[in-house]
Structure 1
Amino acid sequence: MDLLIAARHAKGLTQATLAARLGKPQSYVAKYENGERRLDVIEFLDITDAIGVDGRVLLDGLTETPP
């Protein structure tokens, strides 16, 4: 979830703003960001769309090996 949090921060969005874009309560965002809730692929894509980033780019970041 670190990638989603970083993407949200990079776009200057609060959890509440993102939740409003998703039509969900703020607790929805807080729970997946805190690891209390898992996301399925459709939810992940909805979230990246609401943030304004390409979900494929974020997924590619998961497979990159840190230096």
Structure 2
Amino acid sequence: MTSTLHDPNYRAFVSHLSGLRVQLGVTQAELAKRLGKPQSFVSKAERFERRIDPGEFRAIALALGADPAVEFKDVSDRLSRS
């Protein structure tokens, strides 16, 4: 069975959060600090070495000042169109 880390749909959600972080000018270190995690947590997630669960998606979106439901819907809508 293929790992979800390699699933294109999963990668779209992680890439969306990573892109949002970059767009907002937030470093991995700053995001990690906001989450109370080490910088490696963010790095490994963004490099698809570590899976993030829905609760972590929510926490990351909130730490970036975004609405998790809006961000999830944005990615979901883009996936539906492709």
TM-score, normalised by the number of residues in structure 2: 0.74
For the pair 1:14 / 2:27, whether they are aligned, the reply is yes
- Percent of paired sites with the same residue: 44
Q: Which residue of 1 aligns with 2:72?
A: 59
Greater fraction of residues in helix = 2
Counterpart among 26, 42, 56 of residue 55 in structure 2 = 42
TM-score, normalised by the number of residues in structure 1: 0.88
CA distance in 2, matches of 1:52, 1:10: 12
Q: Secondary structure at the match of 1:36?
A: coil
Structure index of larger Rg: 2
1:23-42 maps to which residues of 2 (within 5 A)?
23-42=36-55
Q: CA deviation at 1:63?
A: 2.1
RMSD value, Cα: 1.1
Q: CA deviation at 1:22?
A: 0.6
Q: Secondary structure at the match of 1:19?
A: helix
- Structure 2 spans left out of the alignment, 5+ residues: 1-13
Q: CA deviation at 1:62?
A: 2.1
